Amino acid sequence: MPKIVNREQKRTEITNLCYDLIVQNGFCNITVSQVAKKANMAKGSIYKYFESKEDILFSIIKSVQEDYDMEVKKKLNSASSTKEKVLALFQLCIEEDEVNSSRRKIYKEFCSVCLSKSIKSMMDFQNEIKKKYIIWLKEILKEGIKSSELKSDSVKLADGLFAMAEGVLLLSSYEPSILTNHIDILFKMIKEERL
């Protein structure tokens, strides 16, 4: 009797195995044969679970994004000031630990594929991430305005701040201080002066 395999569980297993492979070697430098070897499977068997190598990367970025979103939400809930919340939202761009470093590499690889291959589902996902984070950022800034922490038109800076954060994230020479310095200066400018 043939072994019954849970398709989603196997996809998750392969996705997890490929994460480090992509972080270490880059997406363009791996092959489906390497993925199959890492998963202890025949090359053709990979295609039972993924349509393409890009589909594996897409599965990885969805998983990474889900985990990151949960972390951000926790940090947002524990932050006490608007500035702390903005920094929490952009922890991927700022924090220099191993987890966020790996996430940045995966996100760069994902963006590279989006730009070079124009895979609609991946591009749509990237746009949804952007929309979600701009909405979150606007909500954070509106809360800061409501609590009289920020000037009333501060929310207008959300799109530009997000664009800068994404630019810092995608820079090949990673400099988190660019973004943190910008946020420091920005908050000095938009802080509501109290009498």
Average pLDDT on 22-42 reads 91
Average pLDDT on 166-173 reads 78
pLDDT score of 173: 61
What b/e sequence results for 71-102 when a residue is b if at least 16 CB atoms lie within 10 Å of its CB, and e otherwise?
Answer: ebeeebeebeebbebbbbbbbbbbbeeeebeb
pLDDT score of 172: 57
Contact 144, 59 (CB under 8 A): no
DSSP 194: P
> What string of DSSP letters covers 133-193?
HHHHHHHHHHHHHHTTSB-TTGGGGHHHHHHHHHHHHH-SS--HHHHHHHHHHHHHHHBPP
Contact 169, 133 (CB under 8 A): no
Closest listed residue to residue 161, CA positions, set 142, 147, 180, 146: 180
pLDDT score of 180 more than 60: yes
pLDDT score of 184: 87
Q: What is the pTM of this model?
A: 0.86
**86-105 tens-digit pLDDT:** 999 998 888 888 998 899 99
Homologous superfamily assigned to 7-190: Tetracycline Repressor, domain 2 (1.10.357.10)
**104-130 tens-digit pLDDT:** 999 999 999 988 988 899 999 999 999
The residue extents of the domains of the chain are 7-190
pLDDT score of 51 more than 70: yes
pLDDT score of 4: 62
The fraction of the chain above a pLDDT of 70, given in percent, is 93
pLDDT score of 171: 78
